[in-house]
Amino acid sequence: MPQQGSTFPRLAAARGPRGTTETTVADRNRTRVRPVRDPGLRVLPRPRSLFGEPTGRGEQYRPPPAPSHGSPTMNIPTTPPAVQRMVQPPAPRPCASCPYRLDVPSGIWSEDDYNKLPLYDEPTWAQPPQLFLCHQRDRNDDRARVCGGWASCHDGDHLLALRIASLAGQITAETAEAIRGYISPVGLFVSGAQAAAHGLRELLNPGPKARRAIDKLRRTRADLT
């Protein structure tokens, strides 16, 4: 007899071997009970896999196939990297249009070029990380070299650009030593700030000597406008 208040009838028992009690297949089929759904319960959706597909009962997780070597998601370089240009050491003497020279005309270069000079007077950590190159060559010229006036005016031991260029392989160890020990044979301004102030003084109205220097530079360099 089922217990009072119980919704599940007791299965009929059969005596098995050695006195064990088990239920027969017929008893289990007759006494299978379906749970009653409570109308107040919310039916949860079927669980979904990581890829948004519904998972069946007992379904095992199958990882996505690994991409093949021909997949467009693979980014394998097929060409070797370009050879890096090595910057050459300063010329034996700063060029005639060097902004650091005392005898250079005012107003030859642009305002942006002159504003770079005082930045190398700052402490090492506040300086620009780029080398200051000679203006006689194009920026992408294989013969590009370090500006002699820049190398002689500033202390090479405290130039941030020189340290970075050495670590990055832009200059050789011999070039780095040549920059540190470079001494200009012509007179230079003692700081980048003084050189910039001189160059900016006649920027809007260059004199005849400065105009001739500008015309010569335009014939020499293809990247100047």
Stronger pLDDT, 77 or 142, i.e. the higher one = 142
DSSP state of 22: E
Answer for the pair 199, 116: CB distance below 8 angstroms, yes or no: no
The backbone torsions φ and ψ at residue 20, rounded to the nearest 5 degrees and listed phi first, read -80, 160
Among the listed residues 84, 91, 213, the one whose alpha carbon sits nearest the alpha carbon of residue 151: 91
pTM of the model: 0.61
Encode pLDDT of 167-223 as tens digits: 999 999 999 999 999 999 999 999 999 999 999 999 999 999 999 999 988 887 655
Complete DSSP assignment for 44-81: PPPPB-TTSPBPPTTPPP-PPPPPPTT-TT-----SPP
Locus of tokens 């000079």: 117
Question: Residue 86, Cβ neighbours under 10 Å: how many?
Answer: 13
Stronger pLDDT, 114 or 28, i.e. the higher one = 114
